[in-house]
């Protein structure tokens, strides 16, 4: 079950750098709020696949459920409940507001993962 995959890990690092650049330098109405959310589930997927030999479908569903959980915690104002509202890091990583558009962005990201993995790379 444990198996290091360098390609996924390198992709994780690349996606993380892109996400940090988006968070620090892009303050628009599309890239940061939507494209960033699409990329974050792809980043998490690649991170999991870097270390675990789990099927594409199981990993994709697990990542999507995790993203839904984080979004649900945003709905219940988890950052404030944990008294982290003054932490820029917590506000950025966890997020502070629920949005249905984020759910759609996560779904889009997972669809991209599945298409790339199953259609382009023909993995089971």
6 burial type by CB count under 10 A (0-12 exposed, 13-18 middle, 19+ buried): exposed
Looking at residue 90, its pLDDT comes to: 87
Q: Which residues of the chain have pLDDT under 50?
A: 124
Looking at residue 33, its pLDDT comes to: 86
Looking at residue 73, its pLDDT comes to: 93
Number of structural domains in the chain: 1
Is residue 45, in this structure, part of any structural domain at all? yes
**How far apart, in whole angstroms, are the C-alpha atoms of residue 12 and residue 15?**
5
Which residues make beta-bridge pairs with 2?
52
Is residue 36, in this structure, part of any structural domain at all? yes
Is residue 1, in this structure, part of any structural domain at all? no
Q: What is the DSSP string of 59-93?
A: HHHHHHHHHHHHHHHHHTTHHHHTT-TT-HHHHHH
Looking at residue 23, its pLDDT comes to: 86
**How far apart, in whole angstroms, are the C-alpha atoms of residue 112 and residue 62?**
15
**Which residues constitute the domain of residue 69?**
6-120
Q: Give the position of tokens 């984020």.
A: 102
Looking at residue 123, its pLDDT comes to: 54
């Amino acid at each position: 079950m444990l198996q290091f995959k360098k390609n996924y890990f390198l992709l994780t690092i690349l996606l993380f750098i892109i996400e940090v650049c988006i968070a620090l330098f892009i303050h628009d109405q599309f890239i940061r709020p939507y494209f960033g959310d699409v990329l974050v589930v792809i980043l998490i997927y690649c991170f999991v696949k870097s270390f675990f030999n789990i099927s594409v479908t199981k990993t994709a569903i697990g990542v999507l459920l995790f993203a839904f959980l984080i979004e649900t915690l945003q709905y219940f104002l988890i950052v404030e409940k944990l008294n982290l509202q003054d932490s820029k890091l917590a506000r950025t990583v966890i997020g502070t507001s629920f949005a249905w558009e984020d759910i759609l962005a996560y779904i889009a990201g997972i669809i991209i993962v599945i298409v790339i993995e199953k259609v382009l790379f023909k993995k089971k």
